[in-house]
Amino acid sequence: MLVLIQLFMTMMMKTAPQMVTVEAQSGDTVLLPLEGRSWTREDVGDIRWTHRQLVLSLKNNRTTCEQHRRCELLSNGSLRFSHVCAEDAGNYSLQVFDPHGTRLVQIHFLLRVEEVESENPGEGQTNVLLPISCLSLLLLFFIIIIFIVRKRTRRTTAEPKEEDVYMPMFGNHSNKRKQLEKEEESLYVPCYPLVSMETPQTKAEDVYV
């Protein structure tokens, strides 16, 4: 009786489906493994994976997902996803058969995929280029202001020098004019006659005095 119970329990363990939960994030490489089995290739007639409209069979040489080609049935019976997505989530059924078609084991996998929002490359470039553009414009603005200020300071420092240049020129002209006026005045010196302006007395007048 005890032997029959153990045999029944062993058969139940072999035939009862197991449930394995696998969690992953979108973009990861995921492996749904077939582990803990000591079968040889001769003992196994077929390894079959099913999921919705997906059917992979080692016997029929259907080892690649035809829809997206992101999953592959390996030679050891495991199912591998190279780039898992949210649409890959769900229940997967693994069945192993012997060469006579008898099912040796059945395992159910629950694949949970968490979506990770990937940053858009265009938005990332925009976020980087925007501060750089603002800094470049700000730097250009400061350069223009510095250039204008320097130009104004050069003008203010140059204007007094020009006035100083013109002042001596006007001063020399005024001095020359004064000198010429003095020379002209010296040319027109009044000539006083040496002869007396009184009427000379003649000898006749002397006689009649």
**H or E segment to which residue 145 belongs:** helix 121-187
pLDDT tens digits along 5-19: 344 444 544 555 678
Q: Percentage of the chain surpassing pLDDT 90?
A: 25
Mean pLDDT (whole number) for 144-163: 77
Lowest mean pLDDT among 87-91, 104-108, 157-161, 186-190: 186-190
pLDDT at 114: 92
pLDDT at 3: 40
Distance between CA atoms of residues 111 and 21, nearest Å: 6
The C-alpha angle with vertex 114 and arms to 112 and 120, in degrees rounded to 5, equals 150
- Residue pair 110/91 in contact (Cβ under 8 Å)? The answer is yes
> With 70 as the cut, is the pLDDT of residue 123 above it?
no
Q: What is the CATH superfamily name and number for domain 12-114?
A: Immunoglobulins (2.60.40.10)
Q: What is the DSSP letter of 162?
A: H
pLDDT at 142: 87
Mean pLDDT (whole number) for 94-120: 87
> With 50 as the cut, is the pLDDT of residue 2 above it?
no
Mean pLDDT (whole number) for 139-167: 76
pTM equals 0.49
Closest CA to 22 of 109, 116, 114: 109
> With 90 as the cut, is the pLDDT of residue 158 above it?
no
> With 90 as the cut, is the pLDDT of residue 93 above it?
yes
- Residue pair 102/11 in contact (Cβ under 8 Å)? The answer is no
Query: Three-class SS string for 23-69?
Result: EEECCCCEEECCCCCCCCCCCCCEEEEEECCEEEECCCCECECCCCC
Q: Which is more confidently placed, 69 or 92? A: 92
Mean pLDDT (whole number) for 111-121: 77
> How confident is the prediction for the chain on average, in pLDDT?
75
pLDDT at 200: 52
pLDDT at 111: 94
pLDDT at 188: 53
pLDDT tens digits along 17-26: 678 999 999 9
Distance between CA atoms of residues 63 and 53, nearest Å: 14
Mean pLDDT (whole number) for 155-183: 61
Mean pLDDT (whole number) for 190-201: 52
